Amino acid sequence: MERFFLYDDVEDTKTRFVSFTGRTLRYDLAIVQSSRFFGKVLVLDMQFGRFAIMGPDDVEEPGYIEHVYKREGDEAEDLREYLRELLS
């Protein structure tokens, strides 16, 4: 079988590792900046193995944090508050 690549690029990225505690939970995140994301960042939740490419508009989208990171209530709000600060 012949493999057809759409792309196979190597790029230097900037990664920030952040750990903080919220009202009920500890958060361990990796934030990856790359020119591939058109001004957005890749936010990886290392505890739960979930990730999303996000910008400020995504953080404000109702239910987005809850859906992507499978968090509810205070947990979702703690993450949303941090991401607002990060992406502003």
Q: How many CB atoms lie within 10 A of CB 43?
A: 25
> Using CA atoms, how far apart are residues 32 and 42, in angstroms rounded to an integer?
5
Assess whether pLDDT exceeds 90 at residue 1. no
- Whether residue 70 contacts residue 38, with contact meaning beta carbons closer than 8 Å, is answered with no
The answer to the question of residue 5 being in a domain is no
Residue 1 within a domain: no
The answer to whether residue 3 is domain-embedded is: no
pLDDT digit string (tens) for 29-46?
Answer: 999 999 999 999 999 999
- What pTM was computed for the model? 0.89
Assess if residue 55 is contained within a domain. Answer: yes
Domain count, the chain: 1
* CA geometry: angle 30, 78, 47, nearest 5 deg: 40
- Tell me whether residue 35 is in a domain: yes
- Please name the amino acid found at residue 50: R
Residue 50 domain boundaries: 14-87
pLDDT score for 56: 95
